[in-house]
Amino acid sequence: MSEAQDLILVGEQGLMERRRFSRIGFNMAAELTVDSMVYPFSQVENLGVGGCSLKTAAQFRVGTPCRFWLPFETTVKMGVEVFGEIVRCDEETVSVCFTKITPESLFHLQNVIRFNASDPDRIDDEIRHHPALR
- The model's pLDDT over 41-83, given as tens digits with 9 standing for 90+, comes to 999 999 988 899 999 999 999 999 999 999 987 666 889 999 9
The CATH number of whichever domain residue 27 belongs to comes to 2.40.10.220
The better pLDDT of the pair 4, 8 is held by 8
Residue 133 lies inside a defined structural domain of this protein: no
Q: Count structural domains, the chain.
A: 1
Specify the pLDDT at position 35. 96
DSSP state of 20: T
Give me the mean pLDDT over the 103-117 stretch.
89
Scored b (16 or more CB within 10 A) or e, 19-29 reads eebbbbebeee
- 27 vs 42: CA distance, rounded Å: 7
pLDDT tens digits, one per residue of 114-128: 888 888 888 788 777
- Expressed as residue numbers, the domain containing 10 is 3-126
- 37 vs 39: CA distance, rounded Å: 6
Residue 91 lies inside a defined structural domain of this protein: yes
Question: Which of 79, 82, 61 lies closest to 70, judged by CA?
Answer: 79
Instruction: Say what the pTM is.
Output: 0.78
